[in-house]
Amino acid sequence: MKNLNQLLRQPLQPVPLSLAIFVLALALIGFADATYLTVEHYRNVIPPCSVVSGCEQVLTSAYSTIAGLPVSLIGAIYYFSVLLGAAAYLESRKTFFLKWALLLSILGFLASLWFVYLQVFVIHSLCAYCLGSAVTSTVLGVTALVVFSKKGRSQQLNDEAD
């Protein structure tokens, strides 16, 4: 709990510019992917249920919306927020923006784990673009964890030096 508090309060150590660009690029891919799925959702195309390929029901299942909003739209908003954070950091060099983008990425990563679980064990059907989004959010989440753990370690060293 103390660590979480520390994480939320303390500013991020300066990170290499390339890392912010990496986060921006990943969020851009994720955004494009989630936008595609959102447009697909609102097109209202009804894929048939097939003996061979199942129902392709990931995009039409009861799990595809949360409170009436398609999960893909929530995903697009999430990627947009990460994009905005990374871009704001690149433009202003204020680590505050990147820190929140990375914190959000961890949430996105956890959400992705849940959705992959649903596809594999509950809906029994996979959707390529949904898995694509799971990959981008996993890489984003892992990147965030690495950045924070490095920060934690350097913080520890600083504390010890004090």
Partner 1 sequence: MKRAVFWSGFVIILALIVWGMIVALNKPVKPIVPKLGTPAPVTAADHVSTASDTPVTLVEYSDFQCPACESYYPLVTRLLSEASTTVRLVYRHFPLNDIRPDGTVLHPNALAAAEASEAAAKQGKFWEMYNLLFDKHPEWTELPDPRPVFEKYAADLGLDAARFKADIDAVETKNLVLSEKQEGSSLGINATPTFFVNDKAIANPQSYEEFKSIIETAASTSTP
Residue ranges that bind partner 1, judged by CB under 8 A = 28, 31-32, 35-36, 39-40, 43-52, 54-55, 57, 60-62, 80, 83, 87, 91, 124
Q: How far apart are CA 123 and CA 38, in angstroms?
A: 19
Smaller CB separation from partner 1, 55 or 145:
55
Task: Name the minimum Å distance from CB 23 to partner 1.
Answer: 14
What is the rounded CA–CA span in Å between residue 18 and residue 26? 12
State how far the Cα of 146 lies from the Cα of 76, in Å rounded to an integer. Answer: 24
Tokens of 132: 């694509």
Secondary element (H or E) of residue 70: strand 69-70
Q: How far is the CB of 34 from partner 1 (least distance, A)?
A: 10
* Beta carbon of residue 64, minimum distance to partner 1 (angstroms, whole number): 10
Min separation Cβ 86 and partner 1, Å: 10
Evaluate whether 94 touches 132 at the Cβ level (below 8 Å): no
Nearer to partner 1, 60 or 155 (CB): 60
